[in-house]
Structure 1
Amino acid sequence: MTPSSGRRTAAVIALIAPLLAVAATLETTVRHFGTFVSFLFVVAVVTAATWYALTRRGLLRVLAIVVAVVAALMMVLLSLSLFLAQAVLLIVFAMAGRFALGPHSAAMMSGGPPAEPVPAARKGVLLINPRSGDGAAARAGLDAAAASRGIEVITLGPGDDLAELAEQAVRDGADVLGMAGGDGSQALVATTAMRHGLPFVCVPAGTRNHFALDLGLDRTDVAGALDAYTDGVERVVDLGSVNDRIFVNNASLGVYAEVVRAKGYRKAKIRTWGRLLPDLLGPEAAPSALEFDSPEGPPISGVSLVLVSNNPYDLSRVGRSGGRPRLDTGRLGIVAVRGARPAGEFIAKKFTVRSTADVPAGVDGEAILLTPPLVFRSLPGALRVRVPRSSSGGRARTATLTRRDLNALVRVASGVPAV
């Protein structure tokens, strides 16, 4: 349908907002050049002080923390007015853009084809890890919420094999399989669902729930995710694998993996990071044995961190740095860091890491040991995922201006339908 005058006006406002944001930045830089230079200097001080605070011990660490905090406060004061202006313009862009494009527009939404409505599960089964998220399932009353929807619940007990419980649920006739727990548990049950071609339901009852976030679920409404069984929509998403182990989010090698596998990490995460980082990144740290081929040049070695994600992260996304706009590109995202400096960032269908010894890895937050070579693969469209119809349709919203959004807004501003 031809856009109304209100939507056309909103489209014009949405197009102007980012231009004003750029203009405000340029105006501040030109008129207050001294302040701009001071800001850059303070950013450098914050970066250096933070690095020393993470990789040193004793008095030097304490002094670095003090310097980092003071410099960070100065950075906020120097940029406060510009930050507020940018934030207001971003909100104007997002609100005006969404109104202009309409609630059913494909623009302003990241993702592939829209999710399709599906009938209610005949025999939905939900596996629950009661220890995930410090008891998030119990706090949300998942048992009762599932029973009210006719969903069978299987609670993981001490010594139980989660993968075997999922396989048994399939043998008993489950036609929709779900998991309430952290990302590591999600990956195990998703593997079973993939193997049998069953729809999978992600219930965000873990600590961070990255997979749920990128599926467009409301992580604060744990019980609400169960509506995927009774009033859901379905789409297919990719999975990743490393040496045939499936992951839904990412696999990390190097510093993160070493910390995750350390004794006491689960009970005292921050303390463990503070205790180990000087040994892993400090001046006395042993050189890394990890090596891989770069598509843009010679092999890369000596990296302290390699992160391989199931679909690339978008580190530029405002308000959700590190999220994945899409889960269906059929690509892996690879980020490598050497010390405090980036060593490489690229996208690939397959990725191999070499090493002279077994490699500790954090796969969806679970510590494991892998035998090299480590072969990472993207598994396009491997998993059928159901989410509640009331969610964002399995696609994560973003306020980032893309070329697709720009074209759609220009069409509406011109009086032409966006889609």
Structure 2
Amino acid sequence: MGIEHLDVTAHARQRWAARAALGCAALAVLLPIVYAREASLLLVAGLLLGAGLTVAALWWVLSHRGVVRWAAAVLALAAPVGVIWWFAAANLLWVVVVSAALWAVAVWSGKFALSLTKSHRVDVPEHRTPAPTRPFLIMNPRSGGGKVERFRLKERAERLGARVHLLDPDHPEDVAVLARDAVREGADLLGVAGGDGTQAQVAAIAAAYDVPLLVISAGTRNHFAMDLGLDRDNPAACLDALTHKGVELHVDLGYASGHPFVNNASFGAYAAVVQSPAYRDDKVRTTLELLPELLTHQRGPRLTARIGDAVIDAPQAVLVSNNVYRSDDLVGLGRRERLDAGVLGVVGVRVDSAADAASLVLGPNAPGLSLLIADEIVVEADRPEIEVGIDGEALVLPTPVHCRISPKALRVRVPRDRPGVPEPKPPLDWRRLRKLAAAVGRTALPKHRERYGWAEDLWNRRR
């Protein structure tokens, strides 16, 4: 991967986009100063006060019950309404709206200009292999609201020579046993049309027997399919991998005390909430009922996460992911740029007060947020067993829980022609924008490769 040279037209677009970003940003700052003058300080103070009160009130909503919760909910609504009313009364509301619009244009233009500077595309190696001759597919007819039936996945797969086993929701089956028996009977590919939890169990068998896995995006969220670049709107397109149009990707597989995960393992508040029998029927009410004690450490285990020499003490939540989730762009949250970097991503959250909750708006720099990369992580607790959510499935595991990554342990067969992983936008860098606006050329390009993701950076260092 390297810097792509731009043609003259692209240079011009980049230059004017950078200038537009800087100009709009300057106007967004100057407008309240010039128009409001002395009141501009009150303008900023009012915005900060309103935002702080709103976030603090939301924290109290989550961490209290009864009268305090209702009062905090009223405050969470009243704070922004009060700020808007105050601005309107002082004839400053239009200043805020126009300034916010200018900032939005500045950010959009800046990211557009920087995206033209360098192409950033993670190219996962594709391996050409013969099409399977005895594929075995497991399909959950209820997954994703009935996508198996809606897209006629069983009939299409059987026309391509696959043997299909439909799960019976009224009679639960162990999909790992089904997959293992199929391989022992000669299956040379295992496929899953279902949720990520089911895919993880079958993936472990595929990795153990060194046969490829076919992921069919028939689940509800399809996070694993998204990061593989598969078509999530048309799960039938995934079946092209059963033909000569398929290729293999070698990706990592995570384990939490021997339990496989293709996405993540979660500990703490979320893992405890999903254990509740009432969660499936009423997620919001169950969450609001359980969170107060979980967030204030009155209920649930006291966790300690050890990542090498680093320690996260008493976090309310810890998320361990198979490779690293993006954190530099709100649009990219929940996505991974690659699945073959051989690392675990670790996100720890510790919030002990409304002030700590408010600081989370700082993103990756928030003091209560820990973002780390590791090969292994150990989660300890003050009790012999803890709740763990593994790819959305609720489990109870003995402590300590050892999480590890198995690099390139899984062969995934995908269609050669697929949408692909959305290309990430570069982080906003005002210093580079100034250089681009002044003169676009070799001197405006970065001297060093920027970091678009921790896993990508670590992968290149290892190579």
TM-score of Structure 1 vs Structure 2, range by shorter chain: 0.7 to 0.9
2:346 aligned to which of 318, 322, 334: 334
Supply the distance in 1 between the matched residues of 2:4 and 2:349 (Cα, whole angstroms): 50
1:81 aligned onto 2:65: no
- CA change 1:160–1:323 in 2 (3 A) is same
Identity across matched positions, percent: 38
Instruction: Name the SS of the counterpart of 2:368 in structure 1.
Output: strand
> Once the 2 structures are TM-superposed, how far is the Cα of residue 253 of structure 1 from its aligned partner?
0.6
After superposing the two structures, state which structure 1 stretch, 246-255 or 155-164, moved more: 155-164
1:64 aligned onto 2:72: yes
Partner residue of 2:453? none
Instruction: Name the SS of the counterpart of 1:223 in structure 2.
Output: helix
Partner residue of 1:24? 24
Deviation readout 1:239-298 (Å, 9 max, x if unpaired): 11111111111101110110111012122222221221122125x72474211335565x
1:259 aligned onto 2:285: no
Supply the distance in 1 between the matched residues of 2:110 and 2:136 (Cα, whole angstroms): 42
1:352 aligned onto 2:378: yes
1:278 aligned to which of 265, 274, 292: 292
Task: State whether residues 344 and 375 of structure 2, in contact with CA within 8 Å, keep that contact through their aligned partners in structure 1.
Answer: yes
Supply the distance in 2 between the matched residues of 1:125 and 1:51 (Cα, whole angstroms): 48
Task: State whether residues 303 and 343 of structure 1, in contact with CA within 8 Å, keep that contact through their aligned partners in structure 2.
Answer: no
1:383 aligned to which of 402, 407, 410: 410
Partner residue of 1:139? 150
Instruction: Name the SS of the counterpart of 1:169 in structure 2.
Output: helix
Aligned residues: 397
After superposing the two structures, state which structure 1 stretch, 67-76 or 19-28, moved more: 67-76
Q: Which amino acid in 2 is paired with 1:132?
A: S
Q: Which amino acid in 2 is paired with 1:40?
A: L
Partner residue of 1:123? 134
2:164 aligned to which of 141, 153, 173: 153
Supply the distance in 2 between the matched residues of 1:62 and 1:149 (Cα, whole angstroms): 58
Supply the distance in 2 between the matched residues of 1:221 and 1:253 (Cα, whole angstroms): 33
- CA change 1:24–1:256 in 2 (3 A) is same
Partner residue of 1:44? 52
Deviation readout 1:141-181 (Å, 9 max, x if unpaired): 21223234333211112231111111122123222211111
> Once the 2 structures are TM-superposed, how far is the Cα of residue 193 of structure 1 from its aligned partner?
0.8
TM-score by length of 2: 0.76
Partner residue of 2:451? none
Q: Which amino acid in 1 is paired with 2:72?
A: A
Q: Which amino acid in 1 is paired with 2:135?
A: G
- CA change 1:188–1:294 in 2 (3 A) is closer
Q: Which amino acid in 2 is paired with 1:115?
A: E
Partner residue of 1:417? none
Q: Which has the higher contact order (CA 8 A, sep 6+)?
A: 1
1:175 aligned onto 2:188: yes
Task: State whether residues 23 and 106 of structure 2, in contact with CA within 8 Å, keep that contact through their aligned partners in structure 1.
Answer: no
Ranges in structure 1 where 5+ consecutive residues have no aligned partner = 102-106, 415-419
2:401 aligned to which of 363, 374, 378: 374
Deviation readout 1:203-243 (Å, 9 max, x if unpaired): 12222111111111222212222222222222111111111
Partner residue of 1:314? 326
- CA change 1:77–1:352 in 2 (3 A) is same
Task: State whether residues 252 and 362 of structure 1, in contact with CA within 8 Å, keep that contact through their aligned partners in structure 2.
Answer: yes
Partner residue of 1:302? 314
Partner residue of 2:263? 249
Instruction: Name the SS of the counterpart of 2:339 in structure 1.
Output: coil
